[in-house]
Amino acid sequence: MLCIAKDNKITGTLINGTAFGCTEATSGIEKALGNVENQELLLEYYEDEENETGTENQSLKQK
């Protein structure tokens, strides 16, 4: 899910991803939208990849 705030800051949350899959899944979006200002990886990212639930929050700056 991507959200665009009034100040044009874009935030995104990836649900049902695991570890490397989270960052791999969002790499194309990051390239299209601009530089990542901040990346917050939740505990699910660090759990064993057998766990199918993961979430990743990122703040992107438009080019």
Q: What is the pLDDT of residue 49?
A: 52
Q: What is the pLDDT of residue 54?
A: 46
| Contact criterion met (CB below 8 Å) for 44 and 50 | no
Question: What is the number of structural domains in the chain?
Answer: 1
d(C-alpha 38, C-alpha 60), whole Å: 7
d(C-alpha 58, C-alpha 35), whole Å: 10
Which residues constitute the domain of residue 41? 2-62
Tens of each residue's pLDDT in the chain, 63 residues: 788 899 988 888 887 777 777 788 888 888 898 888 888 887 777 775 554 444 555 566 665
The predicted model scores a pTM of 0.53
Residue 4, both tokens = 């665009």
